[in-house]
């Protein structure tokens, strides 16, 4: 995440974002399109599991209504692609939770990567100012995401050592190595929605009477559990989005 803030500082200093001031009139509508990389980060309190993050993307459209000299209400409709990996390796197996004997040659190995697509609706309040050389906007609000599809790829394996499991008497099983491969779409695993807070900063450059180029960085802090299955770990999405796009003013009333 530190790299994202550094990127924002660089954008603030780039001379190419120097712009002429655009007129601000209450009641002005604007529409835009934008897209860029999405840096996903899984947060949770599950010390046994390890999580790996992969860069995704976000793209879509925005609608802004200026309600005052410096204040606006902005809504976006974005298509999100998010991906992350989940892994667990556990050495040793007890027959029950209270058993004193441990089969140290037995182990469990789990490694799955999830691929998800969401339709996301951020709604934020915007405070904007025209500086000497550019326009800047600060945004804060919330977002709601609906899961469109989810897929997974990976494996789950465990080994029951024939000698190490001889003292086990309560479980009827056949010692050996077991491995299952997973691929394709999944149901009832990933939560059907995500929701949380959204904060960000945007910069713009006027390139015409009613058109401007806009770059922004936003942070999304999710509150909903990523997994729908209650047997899965409780984790949440945290992600940052860097977008570049065009905005057009469509009316003055």
Give the residue-averaged pLDDT of 10-31.
51
Residue 157: CA count within 13 A, CB half-sphere: 11
Reported as a single tens digit per residue, the pLDDT across 224-248 is 999 988 778 888 999 999 999 999 9
Within a domain: 226: yes
For residue 198, give every residue at least 6 positions away whose Cβ sits within 8 Å of its Cβ, in sequence order, or none. 122, 124, 139, 140, 141, 142, 143, 218, 219, 220, 221
The share of the chain scoring above pLDDT 70, in percent, equals 87
- The predicted structure's pLDDT at residue 80: 95
Within a domain: 232: yes
- The predicted structure's pLDDT at residue 45: 65
- The predicted structure's pLDDT at residue 43: 80
Within a domain: 46: yes
Reported as a single tens digit per residue, the pLDDT across 142-185 is 999 999 999 999 999 999 998 888 888 777 778 899 999 999 99
Within a domain: 136: yes
Within a domain: 173: no
Reported as a single tens digit per residue, the pLDDT across 186-215 is 988 999 999 999 999 999 988 888 899 999
Q: What is the pTM for the complete model shown?
A: 0.80
- The predicted structure's pLDDT at residue 11: 39
Within a domain: 51: yes
- The predicted structure's pLDDT at residue 98: 79
Domain housing 205:
2-85+113-150+193-249
**DSSP string covering 73-92:** EEEEEEEEEEEEEEEEEEEE
- The predicted structure's pLDDT at residue 107: 93
Residue 20: which pLDDT band, with cuts at 50, 70 and 90? Answer: very low
Reported as a single tens digit per residue, the pLDDT across 60-75 is 999 999 998 899 999 9
- The predicted structure's pLDDT at residue 253: 52
- The predicted structure's pLDDT at residue 165: 87
Judge whether 12 and 203 are in contact, CB under 8 Å: yes
Judge whether 53 and 41 are in contact, CB under 8 Å: yes
Report residue 230 as tokens.
Answer: 């209650």
Given a cut of 90, whether residue 35 has pLDDT beyond it is yes
Helix (H, G, I), strand (E, B) or coil at 17: helix
Report the domain count for the chain. 1
d(CA 209, CA 235): 46
Residue 100: which pLDDT band, with cuts at 50, 70 and 90? Answer: confident
Within a domain: 144: yes
- The predicted structure's pLDDT at residue 96: 82
Q: How high does pLDDT run on average in the chain?
A: 86
Q: Which of 152, 144, 241, 143 is nearest to 190 (CA)?
A: 152
d(CA 207, CA 54): 34
Within a domain: 204: yes
Report residue 214 as tokens.
Answer: 């806009």
- The predicted structure's pLDDT at residue 48: 79
- The predicted structure's pLDDT at residue 172: 72
d(CA 235, CA 43): 6
Give the residue-averaged pLDDT of 110-121.
96
List the CATH number of the domain containing 213: 2.40.160.20
């Amino acid at each position: 995440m530190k790299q994202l803030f550094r990127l924002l500082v660089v954008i603030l200093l780039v001379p190419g974002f120097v712009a002429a001031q655009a007129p601000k009139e209450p009641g002005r509508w604007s529409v835009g399109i934008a897209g860029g990389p999405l840096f996903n980060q899984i947060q949770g309190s599950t010390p046994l599991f390890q999580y790996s993050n992969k860069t995704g993307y976000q793209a879509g459209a925005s609608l802004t209504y200026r309600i005052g000299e410096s204040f606006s209400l902005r809504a976006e409709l974005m298509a999100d692609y998010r991906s992350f990996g989940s892994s667990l390796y556990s050495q040793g197996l007890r027959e029950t939770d209270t058993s004193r004997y441990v089969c140290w040659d037995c182990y469990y190995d789990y490694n799955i990567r999830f691929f998800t697509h969401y339709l996301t609706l951020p709604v934020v309040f915007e405070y904007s100012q025209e500086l000497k050389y550019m326009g800047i906007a600060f945004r804060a609000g919330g977002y709601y995401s609906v899961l469109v599809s989810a897929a997974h790829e990976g494996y789950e394996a465990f080994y029951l050592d024939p000698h190490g499991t001889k003292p086990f008497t309560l479980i009827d099983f056949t010692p050996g190595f077991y491995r299952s491969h997973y691929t394709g779409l999944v149901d009832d695993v990933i939560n059907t929605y995500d929701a949380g807070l959204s904060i960000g900063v945007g910069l713009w450059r006027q390139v015409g009477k009613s058109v401007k180029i806009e770059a922004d960085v936003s942070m999304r802090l999710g509150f909903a559990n990523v997994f729908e299955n209650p047997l899965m770990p409780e984790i949440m999405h945290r992600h940052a989005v860097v977008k570049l796009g065009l905005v057009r003013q469509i009316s003055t009333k």
